[in-house]
Amino acid sequence: MRLLLTGQPIWSHLVPALVPLARAARAAGHRVALATAGSMAGELAAHGVDHLPLPGVPGQDELRHDPALADRFGLPRQLMAPGSRTVDPGVWRQIARAYAGPVAGCFAAELLPVARRWRPDVIVREPAEYGGYLVAERLGVPHATLDIAPFAALDLPLVTDVLDAQRAALGLDPTGDPCHPFRYLRAGLLPEQWYPPALRPPTGRSYRFPEPPGEPLPHRYAELPADRPLVLASLGSLVLSLPGIADLLPVLVAALGELPATAVVALGGRADLAGRLGRPPANVHVVPFAPQRALLPGCELFLTHAGFSSTREAIAAGVPMVALPVVADQPPNADRIAELGLGVRLSIEGLTVASVVDACTAVLADPGYRWRVRAMQRRLLAAPGIDQLLTDLAGLAAPAD
């Protein structure tokens, strides 16, 4: 099978899921390549993934630092109003329509000649990247969505018209169907029970992805006290770069200092932020970066921004959460965490030490949160593996009898 993967040139859109799929496909004897902007060449080379660069697709740094380029693609120049820590829903609708409209059109225009030369049997995209879907439809090739952002599907009814306009530009008929990008396969990375019933298409299946090999847990974490629960707090690297979000760190550190727990607070690689925190309480360890995937199985609670990768890692480790969502799919992820009883959701607007202490105390004191996360963990452990996903993709590529 010749498998072509497509994704936005963003680390979190490529490395956690598309890269493992590419590596597994190659190990199984398939021909596989990943098409995205040239800005990701070094990252993909480091993972040993064949890269099909699309020179006309801008990288994220280009879009962030060139207002004229952002205007060309219909993207807002800033996410948050001055003084606010949350993204206005209207701004997020603008971003969704830009990604399904001008961004998708640019990606498809760059990808189409590349795909014609490469001749894929199947194209697999991630939910924010629509160019792969458009090109697959233009070439009559089956396609699948590797669902790294389940709640991105909430945007589909908002972008159907602009996506149909991109179809028309490629000589394709409109569909008027928000779920058309899922018509072959929606491959989920969490059990179907994670999805609300309205987001479970008939083509939805879930798979258990292998965790990539990692370094052993550093010894200093193994020596943390054994007489109290361990709490990991991380808002990720991208979120901490947004206006006003780093101001939450002193609140979190002070709250964790009041808990009868040991806490590790990760700064997302931003060692410079430690200067805002002063001397942390004795039970709080502030680190520039924590080995999240290795450390989570040893934790009793995870304070998280509720990005999908972090949420998935917490469920895979069986750890309940206190969610502090900021942007993108984080708010609906946090809502789902609360709906399923996997943790508690807090608003970052008006966040106080007392509200963080109360939420953490409630989750740590109630074993039901851990039981429910462990039940979801068991469902994930029972899901078919990546080998079955490759079999299913090969089935799409096989001609009908």
Instruction: Return the DSSP state at 227.
Output: S
The strand pairing partners of 51, in sequence order, are 34
Predicted local distance difference test score (pLDDT) of residue 107: 96
> Any idea which of 134-148, 210-224, 253-267, 314-328 has the lowest mean pLDDT?
210-224
Predicted local distance difference test score (pLDDT) of residue 144: 98
The strand pairing partners of 145, in sequence order, are 125, 186
Q: How far apart are CA 150 and CA 234, in angstroms?
A: 21
**What angle is formed at CA 305 by the lines to CA 212 and CA 126, rounded to 5 degrees?**
50
Name the CATH superfamily housing domain 219-381. Answer: Glycogen Phosphorylase B; (3.40.50.2000)
Q: Is the pLDDT of residue 210 over 90?
A: no
Give the number of other CB atoms < 10 A from CB of residue 255: 26
Predicted local distance difference test score (pLDDT) of residue 326: 86
Q: In terms of pLDDT, which residue wins out, 271 or 231?
A: 231
Query: What mean pLDDT comes out for the span 149-169?
Result: 94
Q: How far apart are CA 206 and CA 199, in angstroms?
A: 13
Question: Closest by alpha carbon to 7, among 40, 32, 46?
Answer: 40
Q: How far apart are CA 116 and CA 120, in angstroms?
A: 8
Question: Closest by alpha carbon to 55, among 68, 80, 36, 78?
Answer: 36
Q: What does 245-308 look like in DSSP terms, one character per residue?
A: GGGGHHHHHHHHHHSSSEEEEE-TT-GGGGGGT-S--TTEEEES---HHHHGGG-SEEEE---H
The model's confidence at residue 110, banded by pLDDT at 50, 70 and 90, is very high
The tokens describing 196, both together, are: 């609300």
Average pLDDT, the chain: 90
Question: Closest by alpha carbon to 132, among 266, 248, 224, 7?
Answer: 7
Q: What does 66-132 look like in DSSP terms, one character per residue?
A: -HHHHHHTT--S-SS-TT-SS--HHHHHHHHHHHHTHHHHHHHHHHHHHHHHH--SEEEE-TT--HH
According to CATH, the topology of domain 2-208+383-397 is Rossmann fold (3.40.50)
Predicted local distance difference test score (pLDDT) of residue 346: 95
Predicted local distance difference test score (pLDDT) of residue 114: 96
Alpha-carbon torsion, ordered 61, 6, 27, 313, to 10 deg: 60
Q: How far apart are CA 135 and CA 141, in angstroms?
A: 8
Query: What mean pLDDT comes out for the span 256-263?
Result: 94
Q: In terms of pLDDT, which residue wins out, 274 or 344?
A: 344
Q: How far apart are CA 397 and CA 156, in angstroms?
A: 25
Q: How far apart are CA 310 and CA 268, in angstroms?
A: 12
Tell me the whole-structure pTM to 2 decimals: 0.91
> Any idea which of 46-50, 141-145, 191-195, 234-238 has the lowest mean pLDDT?
234-238
The percentage of the chain sitting over the pLDDT mark of 70, rounded to a whole number, equals 94
The tokens describing 91, both together, are: 């701004």
Question: Closest by alpha carbon to 192, among 201, 181, 179, 180?
Answer: 201
Q: Is 32 helix (H, G, I), strand (E, B) or coil?
A: strand
Residues forming CATH 3.40.50.2000 domain(s) in the chain:
2-208+383-397, 219-381
Q: Is the pLDDT of residue 28 over 80?
A: yes
Q: What are phi and psi of 34, to 5 degrees?
A: -120, 125
Residues 9/36, Cβ–Cβ less than 8 Å: yes
Predicted local distance difference test score (pLDDT) of residue 349: 85
Query: What mean pLDDT comes out for the span 192-213?
Result: 90
Exposed/middle/buried for 154, CB within 10 Å: 0-12, 13-18, 19+?
Answer: middle
* Strand (E) or helix (H) holding 61: helix 60-65
Query: What mean pLDDT comes out for the span 180-193?
Result: 96
Q: Is 54 helix (H, G, I), strand (E, B) or coil?
A: strand
Q: Is the pLDDT of residue 213 over 70?
A: no
The model's confidence at residue 296, banded by pLDDT at 50, 70 and 90, is very high
> Any idea which of 31-45, 55-69, 176-190 has the lowest mean pLDDT?
55-69
Query: What mean pLDDT comes out for the span 118-138?
Result: 97
Q: Is the pLDDT of residue 61 over 90?
A: no
Give the number of other CB atoms < 10 A from CB of residue 46: 10
The model's confidence at residue 401, banded by pLDDT at 50, 70 and 90, is very low
Q: Is the pLDDT of residue 329 over 90?
A: no
* Strand (E) or helix (H) holding 5: strand 2-6
Q: How far apart are CA 16 and CA 8, in angstroms?
A: 13
Q: Is 376 helix (H, G, I), strand (E, B) or coil?
A: helix
Amino acid making up residue 217: L
Amino acid making up residue 398: A
Question: Closest by alpha carbon to 343, among 317, 363, 313, 364?
Answer: 363
